[in-house]
Amino acid sequence: MSMNDTALAEKASETIAGFTEEAFSALTQPGNPLLRGKREEAFAEYLRLPAPHAFDEEWRKTDPALFRFDTWSALPSAAAGSVQPTDWDSAFDVVVQVDGASVSIEDRTGILSAGRAYVASLFDAAEEHPDWVQQYLQGAALPASTDKFTALNGAFWNVGIFIHIPEGTKLEKGIFLRYRQRETGAVLIPRLVIVAESGSEATVVEHLESDDEVSMGVVSARELYVDQAARLKFLTLQEWGRGTYQIGNDMAVVQRDAQVDWITLNLGSQISKLKFGSDVAGPGSSAELDGIFCTDTDQHIDQTTLQIHSAPHTYSRLLYKGAVMDQGHSVYRGIIQAKPGAIKVDAYQTNNNLVLSNGAIADTIPGLLIDADDLKCSHGATIGNLDENQVFYLRARGIPEHEARKLLILGFYDEILDRIPYASIRDRVHELLVEKLDRVL
């Protein structure tokens, strides 16, 4: 695994278009000293780390040159009054609207004023709770040294949200973050930090939207901290428009006896290169990771999941299901990693793919990296089309062929949709899938 040092040094001098020394100094003047310090730390890493190339293993299936940072230069700005409340809002305690770079927070059930949760922009959090920000922003889950784009996010983030659930608190409804972007030519760089203190329980949902005509880049980073015996449910519904190109890197660290349930629904964007996962870092901790994806036209979705076991007696389970249609291309790369000493580990990973059109490509690269003994790890991956016997069975009951296929594909996704805790979101995902399938079948 040794990297040639000279090659490393050569690559390191490269910056991503628009994210230069000048841009950085303009951004950090004057600013909160805590945040500035964090940004400077990240910027140093950003300069040091090599820029990804198509010949890097991680980027082999998604050429980084496809992300045209040279064409996106603006920082996102708010279009006044553009974000309207939706009927989903009533299902949540707190609704956070991110429009351009402006953040508005609505405390619908009064949990914020009652101190049962803290939700704020990172700018406010740095003033109000510097100790938390010091500990968790760019913390153990996602240090700036992770990779070039994580460091870029750490140095240049333009939307920052900090969520803190105090010890032993259980939120009835949950927190909803809605990102609505309508400005062309911008790069949205969101940073999200969620801290669930010991024994707390909460659900956080993100909904990402942009119009198809909006050409934009997104470099996101999320860090989740789930402390002892806490339970955090996190869900992202990604329905960016077709002009959106996203690079994301997310990580959850789960402590003793705690659990994270994480669902990612990747249906939108033109190109996505996403990496997310969990480190079950305390004995008895567990992670349940689920996701769906569906590509049509010439969408390209490249996803890497990490199931890291750095403590003994830990559990993780992952199920990722997707279909590719038209000229769509999906990449799934799964890594289960058991670190030395992580004994009595159970880790499972399943990736199922449907290739529904000739010309569509499904890549799957499930991996097991095991450095310990006394564990059980497994992965399974399948690629195939619908079972024609099932299609026939449904047709024999009078269901027209395209309807039968649609039913079967929705059925394929059902076990994951079933785990979505909000009916409104489940319905929306269903609707999005049906739209896609009706277009193709």
Find the binder of another protein among 164, 309, 379, 405 (CB under 8 A).
Answer: 379
For the bound state, the minimum distance from the C-beta of residue 211 to another protein, rounded and expressed in Å, comes to 31
Residue 61: CB partners within 8 Å, gap ≥ 6? 302, 329, 331, 363
Q: Categorise residue 272: left if φ over 0, alpha if ψ from -120 to 50, beta otherwise.
A: beta
Find the binder of another protein among 168, 378, 431, 438 (CB under 8 A).
Answer: 378
Query: Cβ(253)–Cβ(282) under 8 Å?
Result: no
Chain positions 85 to 124 lying near another protein, rule: CB under 8 A, are none
Chain positions 36 to 65 lying near another protein, rule: CB under 8 A, are 57
Q: Does 214 bind another protein (CB under 8 A)?
A: no
For the bound state, the minimum distance from the C-beta of residue 335 to another protein, rounded and expressed in Å, comes to 9
Q: Does 297 bind another protein (CB under 8 A)?
A: no
Amino acid at 231: R
Please list, residue by residue across 224-249, b when 16 or more beta carbons sit within 10 angstroms of its beta carbon and e when fewer do.
bbbbbbbbbbbbbbbbbbbbbbbbbb
Find the binder of another protein among 21, 172, 373, 431 (CB under 8 A).
Answer: 373
Q: Does 358 bind another protein (CB under 8 A)?
A: yes
- The CA radius of gyration of the chain, in Å to the nearest whole number, is 21
Query: Cβ(437)–Cβ(411) under 8 Å?
Result: no
Find the Cα–Cα–Cα–Cα dihedral 140, 146, 151, 153, rounded to 10°.
-70
**Residue with Cβ nearer another protein (227 or 290):** 290
Q: Residue 146 gets which letter from DSSP?
A: G
Q: Does 355 bind another protein (CB under 8 A)?
A: yes
* Token pair listed for 396: 């024999």
For the bound state, the minimum distance from the C-beta of residue 378 to another protein, rounded and expressed in Å, comes to 4
Q: Is 402 helix (H, G, I), strand (E, B) or coil?
A: helix
Query: Cβ(252)–Cβ(261) under 8 Å?
Result: no
> Count of residues binding another protein (CB under 8 A)?
61
Find the binder of another protein among 21, 170, 212, 376 (CB under 8 A).
Answer: 376
Cis peptide bond prior to 283, omega within 30° of 0: no
**Residue with Cβ nearer another protein (21 or 401):** 401
Q: Does 382 bind another protein (CB under 8 A)?
A: yes
H-type alpha helices, 75-159: 122-128, 130-136, 148-156
**Residue with Cβ nearer another protein (54 or 392):** 392
Find the binder of another protein among 20, 74, 380, 435 (CB under 8 A).
Answer: 380
Q: Does 362 bind another protein (CB under 8 A)?
A: yes
**Residue with Cβ nearer another protein (102 or 350):** 350
For the bound state, the minimum distance from the C-beta of residue 373 to another protein, rounded and expressed in Å, comes to 4
**Residue with Cβ nearer another protein (168 or 392):** 392
CA angle, 406 as apex, 86 and 295 as ends, to 5°?
65
Q: Does 396 bind another protein (CB under 8 A)?
A: yes
For the bound state, the minimum distance from the C-beta of residue 396 to another protein, rounded and expressed in Å, comes to 5
Q: Residue 242 and residue 213: Cα distance in Å, rounded?
A: 7
Residue 22: CB partners within 8 Å, gap ≥ 6? none
Q: Does 377 bind another protein (CB under 8 A)?
A: yes
Q: Residue 89 and residue 95: Cα distance in Å, rounded?
A: 7
Q: Does 353 bind another protein (CB under 8 A)?
A: yes
Q: Does 415 bind another protein (CB under 8 A)?
A: yes
For the bound state, the minimum distance from the C-beta of residue 193 to another protein, rounded and expressed in Å, comes to 32
Q: Is 319 helix (H, G, I), strand (E, B) or coil?
A: strand
Find the binder of another protein among 66, 359, 434, 439 (CB under 8 A).
Answer: 359
Q: Does 317 bind another protein (CB under 8 A)?
A: no
The residues of the shown chain that bind another protein, judged by CB under 8 A, are 1-2, 4, 57, 343, 353, 355-385, 387-390, 392-401, 403-404, 407-408, 410-415
